[in-house]
């Protein structure tokens, strides 16, 4: 790793921790500490424990979706997809730079064994599906948030970009040779060895899009994605029940939307600060008192991250360590012959 790369990484880490610190400072500065503690003590712990189960169900659904996307390459066992998902989740909660996706790519490739170029394509489709579902949530929540979609130029632009990306991915999945030809033309000025290596990686990447050639698979992963969002909203409803808070039926939709957008902001591991501020602000927008909203954000974040992070440490730590030692902060090739 070059000195310039190290400097960039330290800058990104500093920015993430800085933004988390600012969000946490603003979050805590808006409520009285004693009121926050009082609200936390009032929570029904048994209902909050349900959030551990719903979080596990979300991880299981994500693993099932990945398993479907991997079917054209190899029939993975459920545990072979669940452990990489859990490992990525643990990594993002403990280490900076959000390298959980890189850990997942690597562990899926090792479990195959498959080329990392193929598992990179699968994980990329995973992320794209999450982005599509987030856009659907935003459109559904627009009337509640009084967003005029006809005038929301930025929203329309984002929707256009997402639709274009989805269309491009589906077209590339049904025309696998296009990727190889495009890469071959792009690397033609390079040496013969480089041409062969890049072309091979392009073929492997197109193979990772194989599940999108089946409408049955596409429908399956879309349904699982929407089900995952529904379980996420059920988790937020459990927060409200635990604190005896009665809000409109659409409140969980608004909260999960704010959390999804808030956690996109660079932050410290575990999305500390950004998660809390997004959740509390959304709850207040729905009518929750500030102290109750803050306590729900604290309890919700704890139940969403700590139990499964602790469980994951016992299950996934050896694999995470191996990936970090061998690949560090990015999936980098050390030579054109590397698989």
Q: Which residue has the higher pLDDT, 67 or 175?
A: 67
Q: How many angstroms from the chain centroid is the CA of residue 126?
A: 9
The mean pLDDT of 62-82, rounded to a whole number, is 94
Lowest mean pLDDT among 76-85, 211-220, 230-239, 269-278: 211-220
Q: How far apart are CA 115 and CA 113, in angstroms?
A: 7
Residues 114 and 74: beta-carbon distance below 8 Å = yes
Residues 48 and 239: beta-carbon distance below 8 Å = yes
* Residue 228 clears pLDDT 90, i.e. is over it: yes
Token readout for 106 is: 């690597």
Q: Which residue has the higher pLDDT, 140 or 299?
A: 299
> 25 lies in a domain?
yes
- % pLDDT > 90, the chain: 48
Residues 282 and 253: beta-carbon distance below 8 Å = no
Nearest to 316 by CA among 63, 10, 121, 71: 63
Q: Which residue has the higher pLDDT, 99 or 75?
A: 75
Lowest mean pLDDT among 139-153, 180-194, 281-295: 139-153
Residues 218 and 132: beta-carbon distance below 8 Å = no
Q: Collapsing DSSP states into helix, strand and coil, what is residue 206?
A: helix
Query: Please, how many CA atoms are within 13 Å of residue 181, restricted to the half-sphere of its CB?
Result: 5
Q: What is the mean pLDDT of the chain?
A: 86
> 283 lies in a domain?
yes
Q: Report the pLDDT value the prediction gives residue 335, as an integer from 0 to 100.
A: 38
> 53 lies in a domain?
yes
pLDDT tens-place string over residues 153-208: 766 777 788 788 888 888 888 887 888 788 888 888 887 787 778 888 888 888 88
Q: Report the pLDDT value the prediction gives residue 316, as an integer from 0 to 100.
A: 75
Residues 230 and 193: beta-carbon distance below 8 Å = no
Nearest to 26 by CA among 304, 286, 265: 265
> 276 lies in a domain?
yes
Token readout for 97 is: 């730079």
99 CB burial (10 A radius; 0-12, 13-18, 19+): buried
pTM reported for the whole predicted model: 0.86
Angle at 132 between CA 130 and CA 138, to 5 degrees: 105
Q: Which residue has the higher pLDDT, 302 or 206?
A: 302
Residues 107 and 123: beta-carbon distance below 8 Å = no
**CA Rg, the chain, in Å?**
21
> 77 lies in a domain?
yes
> 336 lies in a domain?
no
Count up the domains in the chain and report the number.
1
- % pLDDT > 70, the chain: 90
The mean pLDDT of 71-78, rounded to a whole number, is 93
Q: Domain of residue 166: give its range.
A: 19-327
Q: How far apart are CA 47 and CA 239, in angstroms?
A: 8
Say which residue the tokens 């969002």 belong to: 229
> 102 lies in a domain?
yes
pLDDT class of 319 with cuts at 50, 70, 90? low
DSSP E strands, 64-206: none
Q: Report the pLDDT value the prediction gives residue 149, as an integer from 0 to 100.
A: 65
- The residues near 138 (Cβ < 8 Å, ≥ 6 apart) are 147, 155, 257
Nearest to 294 by CA among 91, 78, 37: 37
Q: Which residue has the higher pLDDT, 76 or 335?
A: 76
Q: How many angstroms from the chain centroid is the CA of residue 35?
A: 33
* Residue 246 clears pLDDT 70, i.e. is over it: yes
Q: Report the pLDDT value the prediction gives residue 122, as an integer from 0 to 100.
A: 93
pLDDT tens-place string over residues 29-50: 888 888 888 888 889 999 999 9
SS (H, E, C) 181-197: HHHHHHCCCCCHHHHHH
* Residue 259 clears pLDDT 90, i.e. is over it: yes
pLDDT class of 53 with cuts at 50, 70, 90? very high
Q: Which residue has the higher pLDDT, 152 or 29?
A: 29
Q: How far apart are CA 138 and CA 125, in angstroms?
A: 20
Say which residue the tokens 């693993």 belong to: 63
> 293 lies in a domain?
yes
Q: For the chain, what is the largest distance between any 2 Cα atoms, rounded to a whole number of angstroms?
A: 69
């Amino acid at each position: 790793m070059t000195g310039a790369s190290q400097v960039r990484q330290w800058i990104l880490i500093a920015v993430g921790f800085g933004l988390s610190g600012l969000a946490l400072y603003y979050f805590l500065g808006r409520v009285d500490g004693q009121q926050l503690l009082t609200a936390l003590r009032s929570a029904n712990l048994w209902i909050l424990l349900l959030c551990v189960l719903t979080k596990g169900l979300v991880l299981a659904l994500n693993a099932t979706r990945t398993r479907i996307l991997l079917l054209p390459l190899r029939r993975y066992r459920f545990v072979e997809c669940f452990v990489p998902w859990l490992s990525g989740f643990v990594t993002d909660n403990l280490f900076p730079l959000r390298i959980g996706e890189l850990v997942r790519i690597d562990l899926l490739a090792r479990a195959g064994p498959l080329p990392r170029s193929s598992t990179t394509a699968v994980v990329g489709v995973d992320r794209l599906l999450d982005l599509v579902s987030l856009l659907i949530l935003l459109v559904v929540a627009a009337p509640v948030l009084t967003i005029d979609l006809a005038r929301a130029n930025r929203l329309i632009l984002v929707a256009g970009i997402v639709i274009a990306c989805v269309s491009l991915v589906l077209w590339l999945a049904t025309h696998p040779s296009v990727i190889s030809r495009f890469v071959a033309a792009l690397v033609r000025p390079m040496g013969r060895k480089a041409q062969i290596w890049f072309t091979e990686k392009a073929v492997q990447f197109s193979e990772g899009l194989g599940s999108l050639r089946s409408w049955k698979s596409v429908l399956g992963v879309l349904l699982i994605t929407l089900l995952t969002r529904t379980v996420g909203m059920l988790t937020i409803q459990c927060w409200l029940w635990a604190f005896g808070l009665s809000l409109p039926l659409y409140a969980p939709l608004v909260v999960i939307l704010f959390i999804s957008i808030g956690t996109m902001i660079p932050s410290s591991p575990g999305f500390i600060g950004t998660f809390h501020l997004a959740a509390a602000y959304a709850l207040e927008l729905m009518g929750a008192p500030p102290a109750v909203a803050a306590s729900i954000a604290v309890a919700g974040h704890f139940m969403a991250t700590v139990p499964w992070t602790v469980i994951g440490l016992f299950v996934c730590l050896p694999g995470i360590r191996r990936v970090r030692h061998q690949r560090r902060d990015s999936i980098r090739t050390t030579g054109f012959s590397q698989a």
